[in-house]
Structure 1
Amino acid sequence: MWQTYAVKRQTMKLAFEENPQTIIHNKSYEVERKWLFHGTVEHNIRKIQRQGFNRSFAGRNAVAYGKGVYFARDSSYSVDSTYSVPDANGLQHVFMCRVAVGDWCGGTYGQLTPNSKPHNRLELFDSTVDNADNPSVFVVYHDAQAYPEYLVKFRCHPQTD
């Protein structure tokens, strides 16, 4: 799985280096974002650890910015019990991931792929986001664009006033 991710990341990096003028939103020119967070349920952990992320499951929790795999810049988004559902012992699970986000565009409800770039209708953006100017949610559409580096297990305690 690491090799597949590394190849995809390198391919995207070479495209950035060969055609920097085509980059619209990612002005850092960094293909990879580390660390992005992905909350999940306990029964998906082994599948993700062995096979990586799978777009076939897209839409279970969110499609607001497209039907891909969702990652958050801020852990507070992924630790929400909507995404990181507590198991029978009250443990929640969030992956810290390397994600090759590339160049992004704003996403729309239910879209299946990123939009075409304006200069070349045959070239797609690499990912979609919640806000193109300051993204906090990234959606990727190729399974090899993300690598689950660490699994964080935790238990949230109710806040007392």
Structure 2
Amino acid sequence: MRTPIVSKNRTKYGSLENPSGVEKANSTHSELDSANHDQDSSSMSDCESSISGPCNDPLPSLYDGLIRLQEGDRVFNLINRRLVSGLGAVGRSQAEIVAIHKNPFRGVMGQARTQSFQIFEKAMANKCGGISNLKFAWYAGSKQELCKIVEQGFGKPDDNGLYGRGVCFSPDDSPLDCLKDSVIDEDGMRHMLMCRLILGKTEVVHPGSDQYHPSSEEFDSGVDNLTMPKKYIVWCTNMNTHILPEYIISFKAPSASNGFAGVQDSSLRPTSPWMPFPTLISVLSKFLPPTTIALISKYYRDHKEKKIPRPELIQRVRQIAGDKLLISAIKSYRTRK
């Protein structure tokens, strides 16, 4: 039975990104670790183990090295709640989890990856005064890509022109932000990877940056915003030591054309009449760095040359500048008129 992404019992579940939440980050990590330990120490059913033979479940494992978690499993419920809180009202009503698969890190290489991650976490804590800044985060892609990452690690950094040349993640409370990068497979499902990241001390990376490593020895990773990040950037030099791919979540959700992937808080959406893009760019140049303005200008030229449609242009500008700044710019334009 497929599990709808609906939480009947609204148990308070503190954000992993908010140390002052009901449950602190460390306690949530401990809860997952405890759940994993209980699961590993108990005997697995046929449906949980790729070794003990086939089961009657209509959805097979993504590949033989993964373990299918069962509905009601503690880890299943934890991840389910994270997805519930991150997808918002539309997600809760229109999306459903089909399966969650766990990376068991079996064999010599699997154990080496987890031990390496633990060593680097301890080293980062020593470097940063006892705080490694360990976070959960989402990464979306095709089913084949995510399986390959779980099996072999990350093979190449992102190079989409937005946040430098690193591997870009969305915080665990913002799965909607990376949903647009998911790919619908032959069964109509999307897939996202839940990872642990060692971030250390972060620095701001502006859209349009060509950065590919920390700007100095003081920093370890990047974010789009220091106070309320929506993007984590792990540089390519650290992508297979500071990232631990733990779970693949398979689910069904409406396409972006139905509005799901673009859903945001309606109170923050720019809803003004038409505003000339050259004027908007001029206003934004007072607030954003030149590299970011250059990227927005490039997208505008692409639109004029009919390389991208206007809705895509608007979506990219919203992603780069943020709705709050755009609303401010629109209000300023209205006032002048």
Give me the whole-angstrom Cα distance separating, in 2, the residues matched to 1:132 and 1:68: 17
Does the 8 Å contact 1:107/1:114 carry over to 2?
no
> Displacement, 1:47?
1.6
SS in structure 2 of the partner of residue 17 of structure 1? coil
> Displacement, 1:96?
1.1
Counterpart of 1:110 in structure 2 is: 210
Task: Give the TM-score normalised by the residue count of structure 1.
Answer: 0.77
Give me the whole-angstrom Cα distance separating, in 2, the residues matched to 1:30 and 1:15: 8
Counterpart of 2:227 in structure 1 is: 133
1:88-112 deviation per Cα after TM superposition (whole angstroms, max 9, x unaligned) = 2221110111110111111132211
Give me the whole-angstrom Cα distance separating, in 2, the residues matched to 1:127 and 1:64: 15
SS in structure 1 of the partner of residue 126 of structure 2? helix
SS in structure 1 of the partner of residue 124 of structure 2? helix
> Kindly tell me: are residues 51 and 149 of structure 1, through their superposed partners in 2, closer, same or farther at Cα, counting changes over 3 Å?
same
Counterpart of 1:46 in structure 2 is: 147
Give me the whole-angstrom Cα distance separating, in 1, the residues matched to 2:168 and 2:221: 10
Aligned-CA RMSD value: 1.9
> Displacement, 1:131?
0.9
**Larger % of strand: which?**
1
**Larger % of helix: which?**
2
Q: Any stretches of 5+ residues in structure 2 without a counterpart?
A: 1-112, 260-337
Give me the whole-angstrom Cα distance separating, in 1, the residues matched to 2:224 and 2:157: 20
Give me the whole-angstrom Cα distance separating, in 2, the residues matched to 1:32 and 1:92: 26
SS in structure 1 of the partner of residue 249 of structure 2? strand
> Displacement, 1:124?
4.3
1:97-145 deviation per Cα after TM superposition (whole angstroms, max 9, x unaligned) = 11101111111322111212xxxxxx14111111122212000011211
Among 126, 131, 134, the alignment partner of 1:32 is: 134
1 or 2 for the larger relative contact order (CA 8 Å, sep ≥6)? 1
SS in structure 1 of the partner of residue 187 of structure 2? coil
Task: Give the TM-score normalised by the residue count of structure 2.
Answer: 0.39
Structure 1 segments, 4+ long, off by >6 Å, are: none
Q: Which structure is larger by alpha-carbon Rg, 1 or 2?
A: 2
Give me the whole-angstrom Cα distance separating, in 1, the residues matched to 2:198 and 2:177: 19
Alignment pair present for 1:100 and 2:198:
yes
Give me the whole-angstrom Cα distance separating, in 2, the residues matched to 1:90 and 1:63: 29
Q: Any stretches of 5+ residues in structure 1 without a counterpart?
A: 19-28, 117-122
Counterpart mapping for 1:1-161 below 5 A? 1-17=113-129, 29-33=131-135, 35-54=136-155, 56-59=156-159, 62-73=160-171, 74-80=174-180, 83-108=181-206, 109-116=209-216, 123-141=217-235, 142-143=238-239, 144-157=241-254
Counterpart of 2:323 in structure 1 is: none
Percent of matched pairs sharing the same residue: 27
Give me the whole-angstrom Cα distance separating, in 1, the residues matched to 2:219 and 2:178: 24
